[in-house]
Amino acid sequence: MPLILRGLSCLTPRLPLLPFLLLWPLLFTALPTPAAETGSVLAAIRETGILRIGVKADFPPFGMVNALGEPEGFEIDLARDVARRLGVTPRFVKVSTENRLHKLEQGAVDLVVATTADTAERRKIATAIEPAYYAGGVTLMVGPGQQRLTDWGALRGKRVCATQGAYFNRPMSERYLLDLEVYRDTRDALLGLRDGRCVGYLYTNSAIDGFLAKEEWAGYQAPLPLALVAPWAMMIGRGEKGSEFERLLGDIVADWHRTGFLIEREQAWGIRPAQYLRDTGALWQARDEQGDYLCQRGPDGNWPLGCREATLITAGDVGGLHNLGLKFKEWTGVDLSFLYDPFDRARFLRGLGVTILMMLSCVLASLLMGLLWALVADSRWRWLGMGARALGVHARMTPPLLQMYLLFFGVGGLLFARLGVSLYPMAIAVWCMSYYTAGSIMNSLYEVANHQRQIQTGFRLTFHSLGMAVLLARGPILGSLINVMKQTVMASAIAVPELLSVSLAIMADKGNVTVMMNVLLLTYLLLISLAIAGLSRVQAWLDRRVANL
């Protein structure tokens, strides 16, 4: 019997991958890490005449985009005033909660004015400008059914929507044992809340005040007391600590408190008056008997202790292994927090487990769906077959990401609004990726059947002949299965807590971008190599079966 075979050479790794894995750190840590020289940013700004400021676009009325697509809001006004005082042109760069501090480290922006709470953890990866210009706490936005909630403790073990990279995610989930479902941005998290995926949305009160004022969220409330109040500071690069840039910015914020500029802008944007601005304003306006400001820089350039933030929020306690990890970090600069920090370790392991589970589910579901689909596509009933093949075109030519958004946000929203049913994110991700892959598997089987028909007239895919078709199409099928395992990463886009998602969360908290990114790719490489080793055994077994045909 003439056989059309396509051996997948990538399925049979004849050489050990280990040496390349060991070479990895050399390859990728050698990439340019654009840490600028200490204190060089101000000179560069003056030279180019441009101040690049990272601002938010999804945080009305602090940072948002107007109808013309231009940034505006409370923080945009502050940023413009900084540029005006420095005599340079502002250039706005849209940043997210998750990436704003990387952008600084990367050198993509000079200054971040993006609702960044000043915490002890963040001071390790960026320089916070003192004094702060605002303060916010965390609250929970809940739907019409949850208004009787009065106590954070009642949320133990409950599923709560959150945004990637927020400082309070970790302390709140540790303190109240919340089960966080972490979304990429505010829009997605709000849709999650609307579609009943969680009891509430954990976010800064300033943003939630803004949402609740909108008609869209009528009936929603924030009944819980404010927790973890933290000052919001402008942020500049880690290397800018003690620079003239830091000092200039600090003086500007101090002047804002003294002149009442911040309260004036707060009113202009219709923000609910924050007690923080009143208290801090009074502190910075206070003068001593000689008529000098109480809050003045000392000979060392620092503000007096009474004018600085007394306590910053810290996350986690330090134990034995933790201490060792921190020592290693001080010594080498490599922050392996996913090993030594119990919280990071737990979430990393959970991400690994979710990824492996998704890989296995996707392989099984794709295979099953693909085989059944092929039977229908090659069925006796012509129209049914054509319909199945047309659906296959849709499956193979629509990006899986688009399919996930459509089902998760589009159909998921409708289902909840009409029937009160909410879909499980992981199930949606597995379904969409298996649909895409099954489309390819069906196509490979159908092509084999077509080819077989040229040799054997009247050949058709049936339960009986399917086995042989699978043998003939084994190369492309195994290739598709490897692809679907790689694609599971995409599930992070709809809040499935898999490896990429947890790595981004750890990076946002710890700032160890290089370490986590390399660990992530290495872990995937190991998983995929293991899968290929397993599947190449399957292929060898199938090859023997074909040889015996």
Partner 1 sequence: MVVETLETLLIWTPYLLGGFGWNLLIALTAGLIGLIVGSLLATLRQSGFKPVATSSLGLSRVIHNLPTFALIFYTAAMLPGEIALPGTSLILPVPPWFKAALALSAMQIGYTAENLAIALGAWRKGDQVRALLFIPGWLNGFLITLIASSNASVVGVDELVSRCDTLINASGHTTLMIPLYLYASVIFIAFCLPMTIAMRHLKKAMLHRHGQLSTGHTTALS
Question: How many CB atoms are closer than 10 A to CB 229?
Answer: 15
Q: What is the smallest separation between the CB atom of 394 and partner 1, expressed in angstroms?
A: 7
Longest C-alpha distance within the chain, in Å? 106
User: Helix (H) and strand (E) counts for the chain?
Assistant: 22, 13
Where on the phi/psi map is residue 107: left (φ > 0), alpha (ψ -120 to 50), or beta?
left
Q: Are 466 and 153 in contact (CB under 8 A)?
A: no
Encoding tokens for residue 392?
């296959």
What is the DSSP-derived secondary structure letter of residue 94? E
Closer CB to partner 1, 368 or 414, in the complex: 414
Are 337 and 512 within 8 A, CB to CB?
A: yes
Q: Which is nearer to partner 1, 171 or 351 (CB)?
A: 351
Contacts of 274 (CB under 8 A, 6+ apart): 134, 135, 136, 206, 266
The residue type of 281 is G
Specify the residue, 161 or 507, whose C-beta has the smaller distance to partner 1.
507
Is the separation of the CB atoms in 161 and 200 below 8 Å? Answer: yes
Q: How far, rounded to the nearest angstrom, does the alpha carbon of residue 445 sit from its chain's CA centroid?
A: 37
Tell me which residue has tokens 């092929």.
Answer: 374
Rounded Cα distance between 100 and 121, Å, is: 15
**Minimum CB distance to partner 1, residue 389 (Å):** 12
Q: At residue 142, what are phi and psi to the nearest 5 degrees?
A: -125, 160
Q: What span, in angstroms and rounded, lies between the C-alpha atoms of 133 and 384? A: 65
Q: How far is the CB of 108 from partner 1 (least distance, A)?
A: 4
Which is closer to partner 1, CB of 67 or CB of 305? Answer: 67
CB of 281 to partner 1, least distance (A): 35
Shortest distance, position 11 Cβ to partner 1, whole Å: 11
- Name the minimum Å distance from CB 498 to partner 1: 10
Looking at the Cβ atoms of 32 and 320, the one nearer to partner 1 is 32
Q: Tokens 């599923």 identify what position?
A: 159
The minimum distance between CB 176 and partner 1, in angstroms, equals 30
Give the shortest CB-85-to-partner 1 separation in angstroms.
25
Closer residue to partner 1 (CB): 161 or 504: 504
Contact call for residues 243 and 41 (beta carbons, < 8 A): yes
| CB of 5 or CB of 213, closer to partner 1 | 5
Residue with Cβ nearer partner 1 (84 or 187) = 187
Closest approach, Cβ 137 to partner 1, in A, equals: 26
Any idea how long the chain is?
Answer: 549
Closest CA to 396 of 441, 449, 448: 441
Among 47, 181, 124, 163, smallest CA distance to 491 is for: 181
Return the H-helix or E-strand segment holding 159: strand 159-163
Query: In degrees rounded to 5, what are phi and psi of residue 60?
Result: -65, 145
Which residues are at the interface with partner 1 (CB under 8 A)?
Answer: 2-7, 9-10, 13, 15, 17, 19-20, 28, 31-32, 34, 94, 99, 102, 106-108, 184, 187, 191, 216, 393-394, 397-399, 401-403, 405-406, 409-411, 413-414, 444, 447, 473, 475-476, 486-490, 492-493, 499-500, 504, 507, 513-514, 517, 520-521, 524-525, 528-529, 532
By C-beta, is 207 or 230 nearer to partner 1? 207
Q: Least CB distance from residue 232 to partner 1, whole Å?
A: 23
The amino acid occupying position 117 is: A
What's the closest the beta carbon of residue 96 comes to partner 1, in angstroms?
Answer: 8
Cα separation, 375 vs 377, whole angstroms? 6
- We find the least distance from the C-beta atom of residue 490 to partner 1, in angstroms, to be 5
**Tokens describing residue 150:** 């009065």
**How would you classify residue 156: left for phi > 0, otherwise alpha for psi between -120 and 50, otherwise beta?**
beta
Tokens of residue 223, six digits: 């009944």
DSSP H/E element including 65: strand 63-65
